[in-house]
Amino acid sequence: MGKIGVKPLERALLEDVEDALRQHGVVFCLDKHGYYAALADPMAKASASGEFGYPVAPFRGRHL
């Protein structure tokens, strides 16, 4: 994840997500207040380019 353009605190969050993915394989992040919504797009872009080694599917709104 070296080149995703994020701030240090955001990078720490991304590293935590990556660690959780390694441990569990699937991770859902509930961001009830939308604090981290801006990270979803860079993560998805990095995933599509192969920089982030896991698929990312950002969901906004309600999905049943």
Domain boundaries, the chain: 1-64
Q: What are the pLDDT digits (tens) for 10-59?
A: 788 888 988 999 999 998 888 888 888 888 888 888 889 998 888 998 88
pTM over 0.95: no
DSSP per position, 11-62 = HHHHHHHHHHHHHHS------TT-TTHHHHHHHHHHHHHTSSSS------S-
- Angle 58-61-64 from CA coordinates, rounded to 5°: 90
